[in-house]
Copies of this chain bind each other. A is one copy, B any other.
Amino acid sequence: MKLYGYWRSSAAYRVRIALNLKQLSAEQISVHLVKNGGEQHSQAYDRLNPQHLVPTLLDEGQEDELNLSQSLAIIEYLEEKYPQEALLPSNIEHRAIVRSMAQAIACEIHPLDNLRVLQYLVNDMGVSEADKMRWYHHWIIVGFTALEAQLSQYSGRYCFGDTPTLADICLVPQVYNAKRFNVPLDDFPNIVRIDQTCNQLAPFVDAAPERQHDAS
């Protein structure tokens, strides 16, 4: 398998954690999201992923080579293909709750604070840098407020019970972003606690942005 990613991409970070938790390896190929106007917009990458987003997973072990975009689709693929070290509970209702928490981040927070959105706000909408940061903080705080309520109901040591799941895989990169841009986290004790717990595990530590070969 080959994973096209970028050290600071939250979505690539999620897939790295999932691979590590499942003890799977993939060749890591860096797509620099900033240099030269963004390598994700190059012709070569467009052929691979017309969304011009990372990550892309290539699974060349398939009869027909599989080319997959979207981090949650990639992780669900890994889960179905390599069920060991499950990232979702076995109970149908519990799986649903874990997916709901993961999507509360992946569909409600991250898409709004993604690099291309921030670039569009500043370059095309004429929004100031200060307003861009206000926007960034706003969607994390709105999203974390709702997630904290879910966690107070369902969390154990991790987001759902006492085993890391897809929800933790989404949470840790989002907290990384929040800290990077100084979003105050005092109102989110479960989020802070679970992030700290996850970051004691090697699969999370090894997936961290600063640990990647393309970090600068």
Q: Identify which of residues 158-203 in chain A touch chain B, using a CB-to-CB cut-off of 8 Å.
A: none
A70-B107, A100-B69 known; A77-B51 Cβ under 8 A:
no
B103 A73 Cβ-Cβ under 8 A: yes
18 A/B residue pairs, CB under 8 Å, sorted by A:
A51-B108, A52-B146, A69-B104, A70-B107, A72-B99, A72-B107, A73-B99, A73-B102, A73-B103, A74-B100, A76-B96, A77-B92, A77-B99, A80-B95, A107-B110, A112-B112, A112-B117, A124-B138
Which of chain B's residues have a CB closer than 8 A to the CB of A150? 50
Complex interface residues of chain A between 62 and 119 (CB less than 8 A to chain B): 62, 64, 66, 68-70, 72-74, 76-77, 80-81, 92-93, 95-97, 99-100, 102-104, 106-108, 110-112, 117
- Does A131 lie within 8 Å of B138, measured CB to CB? no
Q: Does A44 contact B (CB under 8 A)?
A: no
How distant is the Cα of A104 from the Cα of B52 in the complex, in angstroms? Answer: 11
Count, chain A residues at interface, CB 8 A: 47
Q: Is chain A's interface secondary structure helix, strand, loop, or mixed overall? A: helix
Partner-B contacts on A (CB < 8 A): 50-53, 62, 64, 66, 68-70, 72-74, 76-77, 80-81, 92-93, 95-97, 99-100, 102-104, 106-108, 110-112, 117, 120, 124-125, 127, 131, 134-135, 138, 143, 145-146, 149-150
Interface centre among A68, A81, A93 (most CB of B within 10 A): A93
